[in-house]
Structure formats: C-alpha cells, structure tokens
Amino acid sequence: MVPLNHYLYLSAILFSIGAVGVFTTRNAMIIYMCIELMFNAVNLTFIAFSKFLNNLDGHIFTFMVMTVAAAEAAVGLAIIISMFRNKETVNVDEINLMKG
C-alpha cells in the first residue's frame, strides 16, 4: 500500500501546477481549467485522508466540492460568453472595464 505521504505530495504538485497556470496564462478558458485542476488536487487529498482514517466524511466533502465546481463552471462559462460578446476577446489582460 502506498503511504499517505505520496498522495499528499502528488496533490501538492497538481495544486501548484494549477496555481502557476492561473498566474501565467492569459486565456480565460485555460484559467478556468486550471481552477478545475486545483479542485481535483484538493479532492485527492480528501479521498486519501478518508481512506487512511477509515472515515467516509471525506467522500461527502468531495461530493460537495464537485457540486460547487459544476455550479462554478456553468456560471463562469456564461460570464466568459457574455464577456466575449462585448469585447471580442477572452484574454484577461485586455479586459480592464473595472480600472475606473
């Protein structure tokens, strides 16, 4: 059986890749995908702890995270669509409506 450490390392690596992606890409679609990747890294931690502590609560939490991720994806993509309709771009550095 693989020790708990290794699951936590893998999850940290995936989360960091997602965070770097959010900072470095400028396409809003890829930023959303990186956020999904970070959600998944957290889910892996929940499931690993759930298995090693022999407690099913982590599965319920993962279920809730998936619900929130689905809601976030629907609303976020709707925002991207309306943004694209107004500005003809999805690059986050060209969208500066709130600059004042």
Instruction: Determine, following the binding rule CB under 8 A, whether residue 95 of this chain makes contact with another protein.
Output: no
- Whichever of 44 and 95 has its CB closer to another protein, that residue is 44
- Binds another protein by CB under 8 A, chosen from 79, 96, 97, 100: 79
Here the contacts of 40-44 (C-beta below 8 Å, separation 24 or greater) are 40/14, 41/11, 41/12, 41/14, 41/15, 42/11, 42/15, 44/7, 44/10, 44/11, 44/14
- Whichever of 3 and 100 has its CB closer to another protein, that residue is 3
Instruction: Determine, following the binding rule CB under 8 A, whether residue 24 of this chain makes contact with another protein.
Output: yes
The number of residues in the chain equals 100
Query: Rounded to the nearest whole angstrom, what is the least distance from the CB of residue 8 to another protein in the complex?
Result: 5
Rg (CA), the chain: 17
Instruction: Determine, following the binding rule CB under 8 A, whether residue 72 of this chain makes contact with another protein.
Output: yes
- Binds another protein by CB under 8 A, chosen from 23, 86, 96, 97: 23
